[in-house]
Amino acid sequence: MDIISREEAIKQSLKFYFTGTPCKRGHIAKRYAKGRTCFECVRHLRKQGIKAKKDRIEAALLKKQARNTAIANGQKTYHTNDYCAKCATNARYTSNNKCVACEKKYSHQYRKNSPQHIKKYNTQYYQENKSVFQELSKNYREKNRAKLIKQCSDYYYSHQKEAAIYAKQWKNNNIDRYKKQNKHYRRTHLEQHAFSQRRYKARKRKAYGSHSIEDWLWLCEKFDFRCLCCGKQGKLTEDHIRSLFCGGSDYIENIQPLCQSCNSRKHTKTISYIPIDTFLLFPSMREKASA
Ligand SMILES: [Zn+2]
Ligand SMILES: [Zn+2]
Ligand SMILES: [Zn+2]
Ordered per-residue pLDDT tens for the chain, 291 residues? 788 999 999 999 999 999 889 998 899 999 999 889 999 999 999 999 999 999 999 988 988 999 999 999 999 999 988 788 888 888 999 988 899 999 999 999 998 998 899 899 999 999 999 999 999 999 999 999 999 999 988 988 899 899 899 999 999 999 999 999 999 999 999 888 888 988 998 888 888 888 888 888 888 888 889 999 898 888 899 999 999 888 888 888 889 999 999 999 998 899 888 877 665 555 555 555 444
Among all ligands shown, which has an atom nearest to the Cα of 44?
Answer: 1
Name the closest ligand to CA 101: 2
**Are residues 235 and 284 located together in one domain of the fold?**
yes
Regarding whether 220 and 172 lie in a shared domain, the answer is: no
Distance 146 CA to ligand 2 centre (A): 44
| 277 CA from centroid of ligand 3 (Å) | 21
3-state secondary structure of 243: coil
Which amino acid is it at 164?
A
Do 182 and 236 fall into the same domain?
Answer: no
* Same domain assignment for residues 211 and 178: no
| Structural domain total, the chain | 3
Whether 219 and 265 map to the same domain: the answer is yes
Q: By C-alpha distance, which of 111, 92, 117 is closest to 102?
A: 92
Neighbours of ion ligand 1 (CB under 5 A): 23, 25, 27, 38, 40-41
Domain assignment present for residue 104? The answer is no
172 and 246 part of one domain: no
Q: CB-based burial of residue 205 (10 Å sphere; 0-12 exposed, 13-18 middle, 19+ buried)?
A: middle
Quick one: angle between helices 145-158 and 130-143, nearest 10?
90
* Ligand number with the minimum distance to the CA of 98: 2
Which listed ligand is nearest to 88 at the C-alpha? 2
Instruction: Decide if 136 is inside a domain.
Output: no
Would you say residue 19 lies in a domain?
yes
Residue 175 and residue 228 share a domain = no
Q: Which ligand is nearest to the CA of 104?
A: 2
Residue 275, in any domain of the structure: yes
Expressed as residue numbers, the domain containing 278 is 204-290
Q: Is residue 68 part of a domain?
A: no
Residues 209 and 149 in one domain: no
> In the prediction, which pLDDT does 223 show?
86
- The amino acid at residue 179 is K
Choose one of 121, 153, 186: the last residue of a domain. 186
Are both 208 and 154 inside the same structural domain? no
User: Which residues, in sequence order, are bridge partners of residue 18?
Assistant: 4
In-domain check, residue 195: no
Q: At what angle do helices 175-188 and 190-204 cross, to 10 degrees?
A: 110
Residue 95 lies in a domain: no
Distance 28 CA to ligand 1 centre (A): 7
pTM of the model: 0.42
Q: Indicate whether 150 and 208 sit together in one domain.
A: no
User: Is residue 270 one of the residues assigned to a domain?
Assistant: yes
Q: Last residue of some domain: 152, 186, 220?
A: 186
Q: Are residues 221 and 153 in the same domain?
A: no
Of 186, 216, 238, the domain-final residue:
186
In a shared domain, residues 238 and 281: yes
Q: Ligand 1 centroid to 39 CA: how many Å?
A: 6
